[in-house]
Amino acid sequence: MGGKRYIVVPKNNAMAVQPAITVRPDKIGDKPPMLQDGSLTDISNTVDNSVTKLRAPPPKHLNIDVTEKVNVTSDKEISKDAAHLIDLTSSATTEEITEALDNKNNKDSKDIPKRDKSVEKILENKSFTAEIDYVLEKKKADTGRRLSENKSACTLPVHKTDTANALEANAETIKAARQQSLSSKAGTVTKIKSSKRKQNQQEMEQQHNFMSSVCAGYHALLRIFQYLKVQELLRAGRVCKMWHDLAAHPSLWKTVRMKNSQVTDWDGLAETLQRRGTQHLDLRKMLVSGESDNIWRKFLTIVPRVTSLVKLELCRCPVMVVEEVIKSCPQLEVLSAMSIKCDSLNLESIGNLGRCQELRLKAISGMSLQQDLTPLQNLTHLTQLSLTSVKELGKKKIDIIQVLVNLETLELGECSDFPDKFGTNVLIKLNKLERLRLEKGQGSCCTFDILEGVSKLENLCQMELVNFDVKNGFDKCLANCKNIKRLLIIPTYISQSATSNNMVLGGVTELSNNLTHFIWGVTLELLRVTELFVDQCNLMSKQVTGDSIPVLKPVPCLRLIADVEDENENQKGDDKQQPQLASPQVDILPLPQLQKLLLTALPKTRVKILKIPFHATWRQSILDTAAQ
């Protein structure tokens, strides 16, 4: 009826139609609404129509809201409740009920439900609703008795079980639909959030990959730029901002090498070195054109400005450059000048380099000192000292070296005039010494005393003897140096070459448990003399070919080589047929055979035999030969 529900109330065998109360959706959970004040009007003419509409199924367009609660009761309950409601609602007027019924009949075809203002007032009246609830609860106990009395009046054929089941099913369906919609909305929100997270992660990964790629490229270019010269580095800095930053990186300017470079603006170079914080300046093999004296004078004016400089390596330069650098650069920790053009050197100001740790001085053709070595005692932090071309070094108070107790590397030349007890009185006090190089120990050099002092230095592990006379007894003294692990020997071979080779071979084979590197330098001059000796002695019957050296018999460890023994046996048979064709005291060993003998006698040692001219012997060192 016009979208409203009605309750048929039997009264005095007449049918009265009471409009049902529509519950507001926002009042879910409140107490059940009650009827409007006023007496019920008897409307007998509409009984049949109302009953028929109550029995008929609801129209398709009628939407049953879940929030509405419909309580289906029996006829007796309805009649009794209605009677009590009539008494309680005496204040409502009959005109309001009549007007509500008329509005219902007029709007029935349109199916547009309207709320009654009086009903809304009743809903808002909470105290009234509480009284109705109390009446309803009180009358439920008399429901069974009154049903039998009023059963004959008018029975409302309402299928309460089916209706309740239908309502419950609809409610469950709507509830399930709402839960499904809520779950779908939650799933959609979750998917959106996950998609946003994935998008953010992808963006972060892209940014990370981009930055890692940029960093990798940056470091790769930084490695490449390390091989650029100074002028190439300056040109590369003009390409772009990134290359400019790379070219200005402090690691690239920490060491500046001027190899194959020519300086035209010394002031600009000094400013750049100071701004970049350069610590190491290497001028070796620098191109010097024009008047070299003017260039070096300009260099001496700008080098004091570079206060960050701590290591300086000079190329071929006049002696005045070395002396001025010593005076004007007290911050230097390393000073190397291995090609000084001079006859004499003044070391009076060497004490100005109080922080110096490495000092290497060498002249092109030998030099002499104007004073002795006494100023060296002020260099208490010195760890490396190299004086390999000073004439008459033994007469310049060489004993002062024993004061430099922090020395780890010592290189001395012209050892022929050293004191007789240099090894046991001077070297033995350098407890931190690890590397020792001695050159030109000829004539009356105290070689045996030096080896005795070397044998007592526990930290000493590397020794280089260049152009030393090897005499009888050298093998026994060398065999006592059990602390030596790396050894370089280049004999002079001026006289008694066979004896020298025998002493070297005998002493080295006694160090088989300690040596890790052994380098034997053989001069080209010795190889030529040996070849002439073989020709003169007519030893071609032995089929001696290639480079060979003479070794005094008996050759140490020769029996370790089986094929050599067999060859010697064959040689004995040939000697019976051709006696006295060779010297009975000297044996000729080809270099490949000597190499095999050394490898057999020194299984734990890397052995190398060098063939070098005599004038190049001073250039040889263990580091250079080991790298080849």
Token pair for 199: 């998008």
Taking the CA atoms of the chain, what radius of gyration do you get in angstroms?
59
Distance from C-alpha of 134 to C-alpha of 404, rounded to nearest angstrom: 116
| Residue-by-residue DSSP string for 498-566 | HHHHHHHHHHHHTTTTT-SEEEEEEEHHHHHHHHHHHHHHT-GGGT--S-EEEEESSPTTGGG-HHHHH
What is the per-residue pLDDT for 149? Answer: 52
Residue in the block written with tokens 């007496």? 39
126-184 per-position pLDDT tens digit: 444 445 455 455 555 555 556 555 444 444 444 455 666 777 777 778 877 777 777 77
Distance from C-alpha of 434 to C-alpha of 407, rounded to nearest angstrom: 8
Whether the predicted pLDDT of 38 surpasses 80: no
State whether residue 311 is helix, strand or coil: strand
Distance from C-alpha of 99 to C-alpha of 105, rounded to nearest angstrom: 10
pLDDT interval class at 603 (50, 70, 90) = very high
Q: What is the mean pLDDT of the chain?
A: 76
40 lies in the same domain as 117: yes
368 lies in the same domain as 509: no
Residue ranges making up the domain that contains 624: 475-628
20 lies in the same domain as 54: yes
What is the per-residue pLDDT for 5? Answer: 54
494 lies in the same domain as 625: yes
Q: Is residue 202 part of a domain?
A: no
Distance from C-alpha of 227 to C-alpha of 222, rounded to nearest angstrom: 9
Q: Is residue 51 part of a domain?
A: yes
Query: Hey, how many other C-beta atoms are within 10 angstroms of the C-beta on 359?
Result: 23
Distance from C-alpha of 160 to C-alpha of 171, rounded to nearest angstrom: 16
Q: Is residue 546 part of a domain?
A: yes
608 lies in the same domain as 527: yes
| Residue-by-residue DSSP string for 183-220 | HHHHHHHHHHHHHHHHHHHHHHHHHHHHHHHHHHHHHH
Q: Is residue 370 part of a domain?
A: yes
Among 158, 186, 210, the domain boundary falls at 158
Distance from C-alpha of 32 to C-alpha of 133, rounded to nearest angstrom: 7
Q: Is residue 438 part of a domain?
A: yes
433 lies in the same domain as 508: no
408 lies in the same domain as 480: no
Specify the number of domains making up the chain: 3
Positive/negative CA dihedral, 377, 378, 382, 386: negative
Whether the predicted pLDDT of 318 surpasses 80: yes
End-to-end CA distance of the chain: 114
114 lies in the same domain as 87: yes
pLDDT interval class at 626 (50, 70, 90) = low
Q: Is residue 200 part of a domain?
A: no
Whether the predicted pLDDT of 112 surpasses 90: no
State whether residue 584 is helix, strand or coil: coil
12 lies in the same domain as 140: yes
Q: Is residue 232 part of a domain?
A: no
253-283 per-position pLDDT tens digit: 999 999 888 888 899 989 989 998 999 999 9
Which amino acid, one-letter code, is at 267?
D
pLDDT interval class at 443 (50, 70, 90) = confident
* pTM of the entire predicted model: 0.64
Among 158, 188, 205, the domain boundary falls at 158
Upstream peptide bond of 318 is cis (omega within 30 degrees of 0): no
395 lies in the same domain as 502: no
CATH number at residue 368: 3.80.10.10
Helices of type H across 46-93: 47-55, 75-88
441 lies in the same domain as 480: no
530 lies in the same domain as 400: no
456 vs 163, residue with greater confidence = 456
Distance from C-alpha of 22 to C-alpha of 7, rounded to nearest angstrom: 12
Among 127, 158, 189, the domain boundary falls at 158
